[in-house]
């Protein structure tokens, strides 16, 4: 009995647009703490929703809980909660009345194919890749040349003319560095309004050329990230020109992590703190320091310690933290304790112990004054 072609199983896939990671929503998510984990989780959800036109529902009857999503996507429960909340706010996911999650983009990005269609497509690709024999009925031109020869010759001339086109070089104020990939890096530098010296720009140009000669492809996002880190290192008092040239000489794929040997004049830039006994209670100046501060705060509150003094919390402080934990649990099932601390203490600059539940500081003391 012949198989029923209409009942053949289909294979599905996602067709992501080339500028997927340049979309505003994706950039906003990726810029958050653990943002890359949120993006990976989002793509996993899209793949999970392919077979049901974008709807996420276990066996078509049971809505997925954060715990279930964490389990099937191998993602931490805190990441799931924060990510889902962000996706809903940005319009990437809709919460349906029956409790299901609906990913409206899936329907636009799904491709499908049956096994028979796949075999035919592969066969056509192989056939098209075979060299074609010249036709016997080639027409002759007035000059005596075959039309095929003229066509090939024209194509050759066209390719040569394309090779001779001068590539676009972004305009910068540093004309002597405007060559190929170096010009691209300097254009990014110009867009970021970076206050680099001529020596530092020269070192950055050398690094750009070094990456190009190594045959490594670098995205626009990676260039911006490298430049932003260099700004942070420079503001922290490091000689970034020496760091860049040392990285090139050592064959590093990225600019090295700064050490005290690269400090200008050997002086460590002090980290401004709130002048509290706990040295970890600092004013964060970078995303990395913000995450480190949030980790420290979470650790202190879990151990029932005052993060400013490392002393045990008194009864009033314990009651204050308990109220914040209640507020956090009621705000959203997808907001974890770490993210609550990050949003309400690290980003506001006001210690949770100095806040009341109306969002007004009882004692207006920033995380690091």
Tell me the pLDDT tens digit for each residue of 1-38. 444 444 455 555 667 777 778 888 888 888 888 888 89
Q: Across the strands, what pairs with 55?
A: 102
pLDDT of residue 93: 84
Burial class of residue 277, CB neighbours in 10 A (0-12, 13-18, 19+): exposed
Two tokens, residue 125: 């690709």
Per the listing, tokens 């530092």 go with 200
Which pLDDT tens digit goes with each residue over 157-197?
A: 454 444 444 433 334 344 444 446 777 888 888 877 777 88
Res 78: pLDDT: 86
Q: Which residue has the tokens 């294979």?
A: 11
b/e burial code for range 112-148 (CB count within 10 A of at least 16 → b): eeeeeeeeeeeeeeeeeeeeeeeeeeeeeeeeeeeee
* Residue 176 near residue 214, CB atoms below 8 Å: no
| Tokens 């691209």, residue located | 184
Structural domains in the chain, CATH included, are 8-108 (1.10.10.10), 175-266 (no CATH), 272-369 (no CATH)
Mean pLDDT is highest, among 103-112, 126-135, 340-349, 356-365, for: 340-349
pLDDT tens by residue, 253-295: 888 877 877 888 644 444 444 455 667 777 777 777 788 888 8
Q: How confident is the model at residue 360 (pLDDT cuts 50, 70, 90)?
A: very low
Contact between residue 283 and residue 347 where contact means Cβ atoms under 8 Å apart:
no
Give me the helices (H) in the chain, please: 24-30, 35-49, 66-73, 77-89, 106-109, 115-129, 147-163, 180-191, 198-213, 220-235, 240-250, 287-302, 315-331, 337-341
Residue pair 320/353 in contact by the 8 Å Cβ criterion: yes
Helix%, strand%, coil% for the chain, nearest 5: 55, 10, 40
pLDDT of residue 314: 92
Question: pLDDT-derived band of residue 223, with 50, 70 and 90 as boundaries?
Answer: confident
Q: Is residue 345 within 8 Å of 260, Cβ to Cβ?
A: no
What integer is the mean pLDDT of 89-104?
79
Structure token pair of residue 271: 């980290």
Residue 176, pLDDT score: 40
């Amino acid at each position: 009995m012949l198989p029923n072609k209409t009942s053949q199983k289909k294979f599905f896939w996602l067709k992501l647009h080339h500028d997927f990671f340049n979309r505003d929503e994706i950039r906003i998510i990726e810029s958050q703490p653990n943002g890359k984990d949120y993006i990976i989780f989002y793509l996993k959800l899209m793949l999970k929703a392919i077979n049901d036109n974008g709807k996420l529902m276990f066996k078509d009857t049971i809505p997925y809980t954060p715990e279930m999503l964490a389990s099937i996507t191998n993602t931490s429960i805190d990441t799931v909660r924060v990510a889902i909340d962000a996706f809903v706010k940005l319009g990437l996911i809709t919460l349906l009345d029956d409790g299901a999650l609906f990913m409206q983009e899936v329907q636009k990005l799904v491709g499908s194919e049956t096994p028979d269609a796949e075999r035919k497509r592969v066969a056509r690709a192989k056939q098209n890749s075979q060299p074609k024999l010249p036709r016997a009925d080639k027409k002759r031109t007035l000059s005596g040349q075959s039309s095929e020869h003229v066509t090939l010759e024209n194509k050759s001339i066209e390719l040569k003319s394309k090779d001779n086109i001068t590539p676009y070089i972004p305009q910068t104020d540093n004309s002597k560095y405007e060559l190929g990939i170096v010009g691209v890096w300097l254009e990014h530098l110009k867009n970021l309004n970076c206050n680099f010296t001529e020596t530092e720009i020269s070192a950055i140009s050398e690094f750009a050329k070094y990456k190009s000669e190594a045959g490594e492809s670098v995205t626009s996002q990676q260039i911006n990230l490298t430049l932003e880190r260099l700004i942070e290192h420079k503001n922290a008092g490091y000689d970034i020109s020496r760091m860049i040239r040392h990285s090139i000489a050592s064959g590093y794929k990225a600019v090295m992590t700064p050490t005290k040997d690269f400090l200008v004049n050997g002086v460590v830039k002090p980290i401004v703190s709130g002048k509290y006994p706990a040295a970890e209670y600092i004013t964060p100046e970078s995303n990395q320091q913000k995450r480190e501060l949030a980790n420290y705060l979470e650790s202190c509150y879990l151990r029932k310690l005052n993060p400013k003094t490392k002393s045990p919390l008194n009864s009033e402080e314990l009651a204050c933290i308990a109220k914040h934990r209640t507020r956090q649990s009621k705000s959203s099932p997808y907001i974890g304790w770490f993210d609550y601390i990050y949003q309400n203490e690290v980003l506001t600059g006001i210690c949770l112990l100095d806040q009341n539940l109306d969002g007004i500081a009882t004692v207006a003391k920033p995380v690091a004054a």
